[in-house]
Amino acid sequence: MLNRDCCIEIVVYKSTMKASLASLSSSAIIKYFTKASTDLIPVSMNLPLLSFLIFVNFSFGLSTKHLIPVNELEARTDPFQMKIYTHNVRYAAPGHKRRPHELSWLKRRYGVIASIKRHVRDTALLVGLQECKHEQVIDILNGLNGLNGLHDLSNDHDSHTNEMQQGNWSYYGIGRDNGHTKGEYAPIFYDKDEWELLNATTRWLSHTPLKPSKFPSAGSKRIVTLTTFKHKNGGQIVNYVNTHLDDRSEKARVFGMKLIMQYVKQIPNTHPTILSGDFNSKSNNQVYKLLAAEKLVDTFSEKLGKSNNDPMTLLLELSKTPKSPKSPTLPTLPTFSGFGNATGYTIDYIWNMSPESGIKILGHEVDDNLFDQGFRFSDHRPVIASFSIV
């Protein structure tokens, strides 16, 4: 065993070394690659970390004559990386209310769940959805936890299981109609093994935000979901806000957005804040301009440096991209597609609400929403943004 106060020098020789370093024990590595010296750099380390340093230097054929103190090495941490995934999944419409080419939710949900799962393994992930009825929330939760409790695809009727399966994934959200399970949710899903939910609340985008209500000119009750998460491994804290603004009234959208911005400013911490959702607003509409005027950052414009509603840009990019689900990702795909083959337009965004808080946008993508048969699993496409937090 090495004494914590011992001093050693490590010299790695590139010549004649043929044995695999991985096949040697820690003690053998130290014996083979070390020698005493009067010109020593003190290090305090355990054997696995020492072996790691030797392995790295041997791999590159370098001499480690200038080792830094290990306590400095341990203090060097890579920026924390995470993803936000947002998607309007389209509510579970009964048969007589479905649009042309729209499949039942019992069929569409498999595409919704599979699309989320594509991003689960990449990095830390938070998922904000819109237009979810209670049975859809439970279906998605069960799907993320292993597909238990889902109906068979051939069972195409309008009844659903409300049984919640056990697993790593959980969610926060409430129905907008009664504050419980009635009406559409704007839920946020998270992996409990990865994230700790520190705080969560819901507000109605109306003059009476603490109870189910709607703005006078709005077509429906609208809500915003506000959460604060702590990453269990890295300890990073992130505020994540998810919403769905009104589709009928510009006045209601502007009022709702101003209310959300007020709530964000009231969050009692200085940690990064991210806003996602279906804003029912193109980049030339008031809501988008309101956010941009506050110098908040839309992940699309930040990464691509152009308007996400420029029709010439969209047509050019679409002409380069095969309409096959085998190539499902393109940053400039319009986020609203409908269920047919129209070009669509962008109204779904992810915003960096605190650009001065040490958060950096790394990437932006839009996943396509096509099944193999050419049907769509929603009338919106998922939007995904990756972030780095120092």
Q: Domain limits of the chain?
A: 82-149+167-381
Q: Using CA atoms, how far apart are residues 299 and 390, in angstroms rounded to an integer?
A: 18
Supply the angle between the helices 250-266 and 286-293 in degrees, to the nearest 10: 30
**Helix and strand counts by DSSP (H, E) for the chain:** 9, 15
Q: Which amino acid is at 368?
A: D
How many residues appear in the chain? 390
Count the neighbouring beta carbons within 10 Å of the beta carbon of residue 259.
20
82-149+167-381 CATH, one of 3.20.20.10, 3.40.1390.10, 3.40.50.720, 3.60.10.10: 3.60.10.10
Q: Using CA atoms, how far apart are residues 358 and 46, in angstroms rounded to an integer?
A: 33
Helix (H, G, I), strand (E, B) or coil at 372: coil
Sheet holding 80-88, edge to edge: 169-172, 188-191, 124-130, 80-88, 383-389, 359-366
In this prediction, residue 49 carries a pLDDT of 45
Q: Compute the chain's Rg from CA coordinates.
A: 26
Q: Using CA atoms, how far apart are residues 352 and 190, in angstroms rounded to an integer?
A: 19
In this prediction, residue 373 carries a pLDDT of 82
In this prediction, residue 196 carries a pLDDT of 98
Reported as a single tens digit per residue, the pLDDT across 106-120 is 999 999 999 999 999
Supply the angle between the helices 26-33 and 47-59 in degrees, to the nearest 10: 60
Q: Which amino acid is at 101?
A: H
Q: Using CA atoms, how far apart are residues 280 and 183, in angstroms rounded to an integer?
A: 19
Count the neighbouring beta carbons within 10 Å of the beta carbon of residue 270.
12
Q: What's the predicted TM-score (pTM) here?
A: 0.74
Q: Using CA atoms, how far apart are residues 200 and 208, in angstroms rounded to an integer?
A: 19
Helix (H, G, I), strand (E, B) or coil at 121: coil
In this prediction, residue 169 carries a pLDDT of 97
Q: Tens of pLDDT along the chain (390 residues)? A: 444 444 333 333 334 444 444 444 444 433 333 333 333 333 344 444 444 443 334 344 444 445 555 555 555 457 899 999 999 999 999 999 999 999 999 999 999 999 999 999 868 999 999 999 999 999 999 999 996 555 443 344 443 444 566 899 999 999 999 999 999 999 999 999 999 999 999 999 999 999 999 999 999 999 999 999 999 999 999 999 999 999 999 999 999 999 999 999 999 999 999 999 999 999 999 999 999 998 888 988 876 655 444 433 433 343 343 343 443 556 679 999 999 988 899 999 999 999 888 899 999 999 999 987 889 999 999 999 999 998
Torsion of CA 314, 315, 318, 323, to 10 degrees: 120
Pairing of strands 124-130, 80-88: parallel
- Cβ contact 368:381 at 8 Å: yes
Looking at the DSSP assignment, which residues form a beta bridge with residue 170? 190
- b vs e for 289-326, b when ≥16 Cβ sit within 10 Å of the residue's Cβ? ebbeeeebbbbbbbbeeebbbeeeebeeeeeeeeeeee
In this prediction, residue 328 carries a pLDDT of 52
Looking at the DSSP assignment, which residues form a beta bridge with residue 189? 127, 171
